[in-house]
């Protein structure tokens, strides 16, 4: 299982919190990571 840096994790959370109009699924697809990873980053 890959480990993601704190900086990358923070970038994902920032995309979720700001008004990028991206769903968690959209961010997972954009970042090429699993939806579970996006959800656990929050």
What is the total residue count of the chain? 42
pLDDT of residue 22: 78
pLDDT of residue 20: 67
End-to-end CA distance of the chain: 18
In the structure, what pLDDT confidence band is assigned to residue 39 with cuts at 50, 70 and 90? confident
pLDDT of residue 1: 63
| Spatial separation of the C-alpha atoms in residues 13 and 40, rounded to whole Å | 10
pLDDT of residue 19: 61
Tell me the chain's radius of gyration from C-alpha atoms.
Answer: 9
For the whole prediction, is pTM greater than 0.85?
no
Q: Hey, where are the domains in the chain?
A: 6-41
Structure tokens at 23: 């769903």
Q: Could you read off the pLDDT of 4-34 as tens digits, one per residue?
A: 888 888 888 888 887 667 788 888 898 888 8
């Amino acid at each position: 299982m890959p480990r993601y840096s704190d900086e990358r994790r923070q970038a994902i959370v920032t995309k979720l919190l700001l008004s990028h109009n991206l769903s968690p699924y959209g961010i997972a697809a954009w970042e090429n990571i699993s939806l579970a990873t996006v959800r656990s980053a929050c």
